[in-house]
Amino acid sequence: MSILLHISDTHFGTEIPAVVAALQALVRERRPDVLVYSGDMTQRARASQFAAARAMCDSFDIPRMLALPGNHDVPLFNLPARLAMPYRGYLKYFGPRLDSSLETDDFLVIGVNTTRASRHKDGEVSGAQIVESAERLKSARPRQLRIVVTHQPAVVLREEDEPDRLHNADAALQAWSSAGADLVLGGHIHLPYVADLTKISPATPRAMWCVQAGTAVSSRIRHDTHNSVNLIHWQPGAADRPRKCKVERCDYRPADGWFATQTIQELALG
């Protein structure tokens, strides 16, 4: 059994130290094999905030990590930096690339940078990014769980969240599903959920799921939720057996001071 820890929207500069400590304790207990960090590491893209986010990741001592910038990781008020060097801080602490991938025996994880310096917070996936990531997915080995990571959500469940949905998401989901993706991970709206993408319109051609993370350690909690992270459990099976994985959502419980299991969902894969 391999475990992937998915965190998002830490917004360092607004972090809660007790929640950071509780997340570190969860990692020590569960010992995940891979860390996926789907953006908004910082609140205002300051060097001290990137450094704090990186220090937290290093403290986890997780063997492999894939990270992506979020819209908050691009300077907002420093317009010269936003236009000339929008990813300078991110690349210093989490580089060297914006679109990156990670491969282990059990996971193929493809990161797609959906932030744009020209936009305030909206995300976009370009045609070139769709083609490149789909080609990468086609190279996956049979035993690998195939994952695409974006910052903004590829699918939203509430009408009021539609403005925050990733631009060009429909085309991306169709291509990624056809290429063999199993999961699309994201964050941005601080609302954790799992969505069956064969039940949306347009439906994906094969089983694929959107897995969203809440805010991991920030005080910027929304929608009557708690700080939360996802643990994705994957056990490759025999070729003639149905593929499936489990998504365990762990929420921070303030009264107890630790992260505990909130839900476990078993997902049937294509």
Q: In this structure, how many other beta carbons lie within 10 angstroms of the beta carbon of residue 56? A: 21
- pLDDT, residue 270, reads 84
- pLDDT, residue 200, reads 93
User: How many degrees, rounded to 5, is the angle at CA 81 between CA 76 and CA 86?
Assistant: 75
Tell me which H or E stretch contains 106: none
- pLDDT, residue 81, reads 56
CB 141 within 8 A of CB 243: no
- pLDDT, residue 222, reads 86
Tell the CATH topology of 2-268.
Answer: Purple Acid Phosphatase; chain A, domain 2 (3.60.21)
- pLDDT, residue 227, reads 98
Facing residues of 5 across strands?
A: 35, 231
Token pair, residue 98, equals: 């914006």
Q: What is the pTM of this model?
A: 0.95
CB 269 within 8 A of CB 246: no
Averages of pLDDT over runs of 10 residues in the chain (270 residues) are 97 98 98 98 96 98 97 77 74 92 97 87 95 97 97 96 96 98 98 97 95 98 93 85 94 97 96
CB 54 within 8 A of CB 67: no
